[in-house]
Structure 1
Amino acid sequence: MNRALRRGAPVALASAAALLLAGCASSSAPDASETPSAADCMDVSSGSLSDGVTVDGEFGASPTATFTTPMAAEELERTVVIEGDGETTTAGDDVNAIVSAFSGTTGEQVFSQPATIKAGDDTVFEAFLAGIDCVPTGSRTVTVAPASTLYGDTGNETIGVAPGETMVIVVDVQEPLKPAEWTENVPEVKFGAEGEAPTVTLPDTPPPAEYQLKVLEEGDGAEVQSGDNVTLHYQGTSWDTGEVFDQSYGGDPAQFTTDAVIQGFGAALVGQKVGTKLIVTIPPQYAYGTDASGGELAGQTLVFLVEIEDTAPATDAQ
């Protein structure tokens, strides 16, 4: 299918990041000048509304949030409900997180997905930046966000956010993501003739719980850096169904930046060299989340075969 989304990322790879971008929303979004300086922490503190939110659920999974509705906030509030013990996030960091948003009007969950957010990025809504700003990894934060820090007076009809609606955002700030070496129960891969799709045969075993990667053939070209625009061929298979759900084979190679795709896919590319062929297994918490109701591929373990053809800094590729 290879349908284009943000920065050319195919639908089956696109992360929740598109929901977090001020540039993708209404004209009521805050100007870049209102975003805190990249050199400083944001000026946001806890308040009665954020302190009044109760969050339950395992860290790194889709949580529940309980609070009095309807909620109407006038300013941004953030409470750290779990303080981690990892490195503190700083401007410019690519922060791995589970982002869960709830309607301040009904209390219902709007979405819950993994996402990679660049701290201090002035293209990201202030409300989402607050959840990852200057906190240790391993932290869980609750942000109460007035419409002025999110989707403004027009809302976001696509995900069901009403005009002017306050949102409650729960963010689990995770450790940097790096796959383990995949040594057992690695699928069998057969590459066809040029232009033909390869065949990936999954072993008859339960899906691996770990995020794992195996390099099938190491390239000798330039190394992929975080945020690079990468050109590649890929094939995605669901371990749960055994079906190929998307691939670029049979057409032109795909091209997108490493931060425009699901966490487990982007992290698998960083540090690899052009010419490399690899296979990676991505558990739900690094793909489309553990909540099976969150979309077609949510709750599933995904396997991607990848051939890296080129890489370049995103600014050079535009």
Structure 2
Amino acid sequence: MRLRRPLALLSTVAAATLILAGCAGSPDAGSTPTPTKSSSTCVLDTQAGATSDSVKVDGSGLDAKVTVPKDAKFADVERTVVKKGDGKDITPTDFISVRYQLIQADTGAVLDTSKRGPEGVLPVLLNPNTPQQMYDMTMSPIFLIATECMPIGSEAVLALPGDKLGENQPSVVLYVQTLEKLPTVATGKDVDPPAGMAAVKLDKDGAPTITIPKTDPPTETKIGQLKQGDGATVTANDLVTVQYRGVKWSDGKEFDSTWSRDAYPSQFPATGVVKGFQQALIGQKVGSQVLAEIPPKDGYGAADDSNELKKETLVFVVDILGTTPVEKQ
């Protein structure tokens, strides 16, 4: 799966991947990264240097004018905090909101910004293990390098040398403004549970227990709301961040869950999941909690015969935490 970014940014992401891999290790090919939610140790703890210190930032957020000196050396990866916030320190597994600009150092051209998000703000799920597939700039590990171990409310510039990005690649500067830590459970208003569907009970941390009704499984996908959010609406072109638990209708046993992976959210394209799961996401608002009952034809019924869920009706509870419009090439 290709990242929907220009060539220069592709190289930036690749370099950041290598940087992180050298410090934190990388998962085996084909594995799913499962970082520990409570992790608080800095992955790189990148320090300021002559180049990052020399970058001038006038203003803040998307209105900031970021100027890179023509004689900047870009000898190493450096980070300078240009404004220190007063919030809690950002840890390597946080879910945060940011405004940012990515600048090509030699030309001053703005390669990418967060302007496609509501009020120019996008959610970023920090991940100390590099994802196997990156669909958008906001999944890039350079945000981890740029924001970890500084207080929320801070602004920083990250300098990435071109010689670490690949042959004949330009150096870049990421300016990022951190805004707040985002919730990792649905925070919408409770609504009456849908009649006739699976029963859901939440523990004190928000993890759902799902009880299958003593009826025949549905033949069509059924979607119900448990919480009504008031955030941005998920579209088919979005990258979504969710918590979820999935169980089989046949025996009520869990087959997949973020809650079983240290309650660390998952992030993927809204159309990158089975049809029934897509129906549970697209059109919903951030902050909502959704219940989905999915028959095989909208689940894994079209999968190869070796898939153990091919004939199963699936039941999901999904907390919709964030949505990111993916910029088109």
Structure 2 length-normalised TM: 0.48
**Max Rg structure:** 2
Structure 1 length-normalised TM: 0.49
